[in-house]
Amino acid sequence: MVIMLHTLGARIRFLRNQAGLSQKQLAIELNMSRTKVSKWESSIQDPSLQDLLSICDYFDVSLDQIMGRFLSRKDVLHELNTLYKPTETYIDVHTNDILHLIHQHPNLKEALLKMSVLSPESQKELLHTTAPLLIQMSALLD
């Protein structure tokens, strides 16, 4: 998915798409209107604090995460595990190297998160290709 994760609306849209929900389905789950969800995602209107808490509870993310605020590598790892849900064990062996690289290059994090909308087969194929490159990049930048 080609989105900019710099906005709250984009992060809500990303979470909704990751869960495989339409705007209407999310609105039903959160007991609100589809129009409200649409306004959030298009950044016409920000959710209220109560709505943000409902969104966080539904998607099992923190307020820091949904607001795009990461305090540590642990937060970045949690976001990647929550949103991307990697299935390839290869990446776990080199997680620290990759997290270091992602922490230094936010655009890389966005690119990796965009992979989550691909089919599991496509994710595995792309991860098989990108993990070694990320490890090499990490080694070169250190």
Tens digits of per-residue pLDDT, 106-137? 677 777 666 666 666 777 777 777 777 777 77
| Helix (H/G/I), strand (E/B), else coil: 18 | helix
- 124, containing H or E segment: helix 120-141
Q: What is the homologous superfamily of the domain 8-66 according to CATH?
A: lambda repressor-like DNA-binding domains (1.10.260.40)
**Where are the domains positioned within the chain?**
8-66, 73-141
Count other Cβ atoms within 10 Å, centred on residue 49. Answer: 9
Tens digits of per-residue pLDDT, 24-74? 999 999 999 999 999 999 989 999 999 999 999 998 888 877 887 755 556
